[in-house]
Amino acid sequence: MAVRAVRGAVQLERDESGHMHERVAELLTAVLERNGLTADDLISVWFTATPDLHADFPAAAARKLGIVDVPLICAQELDVRGAMPRVIRVLAHVECSLDKSEIAHVYLGAAAALRKDIAQ
């Protein structure tokens, strides 16, 4: 087993708690499924949100999804002029047997434009 990092992002249509929970759950589920992982494989998860998101903490969506015994943290993304609005990014540290080149980084919807080099 190795420790690997998995990246991902999703853009929200609006700044509402329920919508955020849905989109974060979709993102985390896709990260786990596309990499053949379960919540037990998670070591820790970092979330960032663009400064225009205020409705809730992305980590609250992870807890609601059942990820309850994994350290989670939220931070604000840099406020860069011209950056894509309403984006939640994730950096998950996992234990798995995948090689680095086999990791599927997940960028959903319009967020795929953020990292065309690694989005799958």
Marked catalytic residue, from 4, 23, 77, 86:
77
Marked catalytic residue, from 4, 23, 86, 89:
89
Marked catalytic residue, from 26, 34, 74, 96:
74
Let me know if 89 is a catalytic residue: yes
d(CA 88, CA 52): 11
Marked catalytic residue, from 33, 63, 95, 102:
63
Let me know if 115 is a catalytic residue: yes
59 in helix, strand or coil? helix
The pair phi, psi for residue 76, each rounded to 5°, is: -90, 135
Marked catalytic residue, from 4, 7, 23, 86:
7
Let me know if 7 is a catalytic residue: yes
**Which residues have a catalytic role annotated?**
7, 63, 74, 77, 89, 107, 115
